[in-house]
C-alpha cells in the first residue's frame, strides 16, 4: 500500500508526509561526530519506494557536496511548473550567454540558440547538461539566483532539512550541501508527486538536432528493474548516485554520496539494493550519530589526483589515429570486438594500427573496431577483400574519422563521471 499519495493536494496527506520526513530525519541523522582520523567512506541510504521507510543507511545524515544531484531539484521545479500550467513542454527557451558559458557536462548550446522546455528537461536527465539547466533556471526563476531561492524554499517545504542549494547545476559553490537522507526524500517526492514525468528518468536516450544521444546513467543498464534517476560528479563531491528500482513488486530508492570512483559508486548501489530486495539490509537508522554541518568531506585529492579531472582531455593521453581507416568489427562487447578485429586482420594479412571507438547507438553503447593510418587505396582494397569473404566493413576518410573521434571524446568525458 502506498503511504504517500501521488499528489500532495490534500493538507492532511501533506502533514502525514512531513511527519514521515521528520521521523526519518530524527532516526537517521542523529550521529556522533566522526573523528578527524576517520577515512572518508561513501554515505548511503536505501528506503522503501512507496512509504519512504529507511531500510539501510550509513552516514546518511552527513553533509556532502551534491554535485549534479542538485539537478533533481531543478527538474522537480520544472515538473511542478508544467503541472501547475505555469509552463508547457513546448515552451521555447532561449540560451543566454551565461548559460552557454557553463562548463562540465553540456549540450553545447550557443548563446541565442533555442530549445523547448521538454528538450531542456531531457538534456538534464540524459546528459546532465549544465547549460540546459541554467537555461531552464533563468526561464523559471528569472535568473539562476532567483531560481536558487525557489529551490531552497521548495527544499524546506518537502522536508529536506539539511539541504541548501546555490545554483541549478550542482557545480561546486560555497554553502551548497545535502545529505543522502535528503536526496532519498527528494527522489520519493518526485516519484509520488509527478508519476508520469518520473518515467522520463528511465529513458535511454533523447533526440537532439536529429541525433540520438544516449542516457549516460550507467545504472540503468547495470541493475534489473532500474528506473533512473541521476548521477553526479565533481572533484570535491566524488561520485554520487540517486537510483530507484522496482522488482517483484518491491520498490526501492537508493542514494550513494562520495564514492571514490564510478565503479565503486555503481557496485555499492547494486549491493545495497540487492541486499534490501533479499531482506538482508542492515538498518542502521537507530544508531545515534551527529555530524558537523561545518565539515564537508572534500574528495578532490583522491578522485582528481594531480588536478586531473576524470574524462578531461588531460587524462586521455591516447594518440589519435590519422589517415584513412576501415571498420572491420562491430558489436556491444568490447573484448569480442577487439578479438574479432584481430582475427579479421589475420585472415586478410593486414598490418596496421588498431583502434576501437566507443559510440552511442539506440540508447546503448556499441564498439567499432578499426584499422587506421591507411592510405586511401589500401583502405578501399581491404574493405573490398573482406566483403568478398562474406564480411561487412566501412571505409572512413580522414574527415569521417575525425568526426567519429570527436563524438567518442564527448562521450568519454561524460561516461567517466
Give catalytic residues, as residue numbers.
68, 71, 128
CA distance 13 to 7: 9
CA distance 14 to 49: 17
Give the pairing of strands 324-331 and 364-374.
Answer: antiparallel
Task: Give the DSSP per-residue string, 115-184.
Answer: EEHHHHHHHHHHH--HHHHHHHHHHHHSSHHHHHHHHHHHHHHTT-TT-B-SSSS----TT-BB-HHHHH
Task: Give the DSSP per-residue string, 311-350.
Answer: TSGGG--PPPP-SEEEEEEEES-HHHHHHHHHHHHHHHT-
Residue 59 is classified by DSSP as S
Cβ contact 415:311 at 8 Å? yes
Cβ contact 213:205 at 8 Å? yes
Residue 161: closest CA among 183, 129, 190, 133: 183
Residue 291 is classified by DSSP as -
Alpha carbon distances (Å) from 80 to 24, 283, 386, 390, 410: 24, 33, 56, 56, 31
* Residue matched to cell numbers 589526483: 305
Cβ burial of 275 (10 Å; 0-12, 13-18, 19+) is middle
Cβ contact 244:229 at 8 Å? yes
Question: Which run of H or E residues covers position 241?
Answer: strand 238-247
Task: State the CB neighbour count (10 A cutoff) for residue 323.
Answer: 17
Question: Which residues sit opposite 355 in a β-bridge?
Answer: 370
Cβ contact 253:46 at 8 Å? yes
Amino acid at each position: 500500500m502506498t503511504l504517500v499519495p501521488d499528489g500532495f493536494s490534500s493538507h492532511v496527506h501533506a502533514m502525514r508526509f512531513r511527519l514521515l520526513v521528520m521521523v526519518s530525519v530524527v532516526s537517521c541523522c542523529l550521529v556522533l561526530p566522526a573523528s578527524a582520523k576517520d577515512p572518508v567512506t561513501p554515505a548511503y541510504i536505501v528506503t522503501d519506494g512507496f512509504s519512504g521507510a529507511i531500510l539501510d543507511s550509513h552516514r546518511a545524515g552527513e553533509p556532502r557536496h551534491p554535485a549534479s544531484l542538485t539537478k533533481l531539484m531543478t527538474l522537480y521545479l520544472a515538473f511542478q511548473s508544467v503541472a501547475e500550467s505555469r509552463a508547457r513542454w513546448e515552451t521555447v527557451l532561449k540560451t543566454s550567454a551565461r548559460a552557454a558559458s557553463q562548463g562540465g557536462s553540456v549540450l553545447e548550446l550557443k548563446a541565442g540558440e533555442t530549445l523547448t522546455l521538454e528538450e531542456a528537461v531531457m538534456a538534464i536527465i540524459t546528459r546532465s547538461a549544465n547549460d540546459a539547466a541554467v537555461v531552464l533556471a533563468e526561464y523559471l526563476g528569472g535568473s539562476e539566483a532567483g531560481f536558487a531561492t525557489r529551490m531552497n524554499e521548495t527544499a524546506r517545504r518537502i522536508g529536506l532539512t539539511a539541504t541548501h542549494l546555490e545554483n541549478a547545476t550542482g557545480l561546486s559553490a560555497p554553502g551548497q550541501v545535502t545529505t543522502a537522507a535528503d536526496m532519498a526524500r527528494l527522489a520519493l517526492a518526485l516519484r509520488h508527486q509527478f508519476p508520469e514525468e518520473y518515467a522520463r528518468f528511465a529513458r535511454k536516450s533523447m533526440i537532439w538536432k536529429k541525433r540520438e544521444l544516449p542516457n549516460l546513467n550507467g545504472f540503468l543498464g547495470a541493475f534489473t528493474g532500474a528506473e533512473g534517476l541521476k548521477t553526479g560528479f565533481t572533484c570535491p563531491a566524488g561520485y554520487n548516485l540517486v537510483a530507484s528500482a522496482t522488482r517483484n513488486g518491491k520498490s526501492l530508492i537508493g542514494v550513494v554520496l562520495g564514492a571514490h570512483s564510478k565503479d565503486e559508486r555503481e557496485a555499492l548501489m547494486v549491493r545495497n539494493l540487492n541486499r534490501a530486495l533479499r531482506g538482508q539490509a542492515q538498518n542502521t537508522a537507530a544508531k545515534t550519530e551527529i555530524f558537523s554541518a561545518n565539515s564537508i568531506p572534500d574528495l578532490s585529492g583522491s578522485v582528481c589526483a594531480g588536478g586531473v579531472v576524470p574524462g578531461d582531455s588531460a587524462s586521455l593521453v591516447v594518440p589519435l589515429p590519422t589517415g584513412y581507416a576501415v571498420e572491420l568489427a562491430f558489436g556491444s562487447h568490447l573484448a569480442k570486438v577487439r578479438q574479432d578485429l584481430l582475427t579479421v586482420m589475420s585472415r586478410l594479412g593486414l598490418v596496421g594500427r588498431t583502434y576501437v571507438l566507443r559510440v552511442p547507438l539506440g540508447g546503448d553503447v556499441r564498439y567499432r573496431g578499426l584499422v587506421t593510418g591507411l592510405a586511401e587505396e589500401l583502405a578501399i582494397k581491404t574493405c573490398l577483400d573482406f566483403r568478398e569473404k562474406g564480411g561487412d566493413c566501412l571505409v572512413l576518410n580522414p574527415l569521417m574519422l575525425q568526426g567519429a573521434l570527436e563524438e567518442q571524446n564527448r562521450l568519454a568525458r561524460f561516461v567517466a563521471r
